[in-house]
Homo-oligomer: A and B are copies of this chain.
């Protein structure tokens, strides 16, 4: 018995809430038995839905039935242990519960004053995580910096660019906008979010330099960066931002931060380090050692919603110049003025981001940190790095495959090797990718290196174990022969 059409009673919420929790428990328990991604025809879902929205309310039981009937069959299952595509988007069950608490509280953090706990828990967690990641004290609030949760690394690099433009213009950017000579630097392997940020900020593609990479490591070449900067300076343009990457999306390349930082220092350029996927590995000292120089960055970003078990969206961003960032983004209309905000005793996170509204996202991160503990998180990261090394050894041992780059963290990049030349290898690689995915027993995605197709195996699912990687290896070899 229930009364739809008006707000659920507590009793109804208990009943339906337990049913939804049980549905998720069943989904997660059974997801490994589903095809990671079945054949899905565009438009099929739409055809299965009614022509009109319901006039009268319905029981949530009908919603759950439709999830089974039309939604689940039309998804790639990112929480499947054999999902190796793109990068992991771990939505651990602890984070699911933390996020549920956030919706349940339903508070809105447009100001410190409208949800103090939301702002302060976020500050607290970002400070604590900065320490555990080995970031410099200048990235924490007591050290004059600070961290914030952004929705994504794309937004993080955008706000960074805006802060850098503001700083570079000595404030003129706020009033008169761009002057036309601003230049931003990444490498040819930098994530497309940099190009998007440059476009959004109004520089146009002409304001972006994609510096060449080392042909073996695929990391940015500092000599090429220095040359590009020198050229731009000589031509009267203004270098504003360099975005270096720890763990590129294509192959997991690590840009040489120390050398890049020296160039940035020399020219007063803001250095942003994008560690969207791999940055969280800094929780483990031996992995942190793989990317020295982060301490010299002006800002750093890594996504808890990729490899750190936290449901999307939860991108962790720190800067040593929060004053510049806030100055770049703040606008204070009357209806948001309040005593606490004006006292400057509190942080107003709305001025650290593009949107005004803010969900209480710190709760899902807190739930993850407390359920797993730091030890659990380190073990999770190390386990996947070890599995990648294991897979890389298998690839090396089989002459039907080539390792395109050395494995980076938990990413393995490979292609087929036919012995019949590059063109044949490329065709076989493409067919192999398609046929593995078609089995539904694993899901892989690709990139290109030197214009040639490469299969990426991104290990890192929260339930991915050795047997899933070994099963993938069996599948790769089996499908190689068929492809």
Contact = CB atoms under 8 A, between A and B. Distances in A.
A274 interface: no
A346 to B, nearest CB: 5
B67 A91 contact: no
Interface of A, helix, strand, loop or mixed by DSSP: helix
Interface in A111-127: 112-118, 120-121, 123-125
B17 A104 contact: no
B117 A45 contact: yes
B370 A74 contact: no
Interface stretch (A171-179, A401-409, A474-482): A171-179
Contact of A24 (B5, B28, B101, B336): B101
Interface stretch (A52-60, A211-219, A294-302, A416-424): A52-60
A463 B372 CA distance: 37
A467 interface: no
A260 to B, nearest CB: 21
Contacts of A366: 63
Given A76-B107, A89-B106, A177-B180, A54 B117 contact: no
B311 A155 contact: no
Interface stretch (A221-229, A353-361, A389-397): A353-361
Between A103, A155, A177, A203, the greatest number of chain B beta carbons within 10 A of the residue's beta carbon is seen for A103
A20 interface: yes
Contacts of A5: 372-373, 375-376, 379
B6 A376 contact: yes
A200 interface: yes
Contacts of A106: 78-79, 89-91, 96, 311-312
B202 A201 contact: yes
Interface string A75-104: 111110000011001111111111111011
B115 A75 contact: yes
Interface in A443-459: 445-448, 456
A207 interface: yes
A329 B193 CA distance: 11
Interface size class of A (residues with CB under 8 A): 35 or more
Contacts of A18: 17-18, 21
A473 interface: no
A290 to B, nearest CB: 22
A175 B53 contact: no
Contact of A56 (B20, B373, B462, B463): B373
B174 A116 contact: no
A86 B129 CA distance: 33
A24 B96 CA distance: 14
A410 B1 CA distance: 32
A251 to B, nearest CB: 10
Interface in A144-170: 151-152, 154-155, 158, 162, 165
Interface stretch (A7-15, A230-238, A264-272, A316-324): A7-15
A340 interface: yes
A331 B196 contact: yes
25 contacts: A8-B92, A8-B94, A13-B21, A17-B22, A42-B120, A42-B345, A43-B120, A49-B124, A52-B128, A53-B132, A57-B376, A76-B113, A78-B106, A91-B103, A95-B103, A152-B357, A162-B200, A176-B205, A176-B206, A195-B331, A199-B328, A200-B201, A313-B357, A313-B359, A335-B445
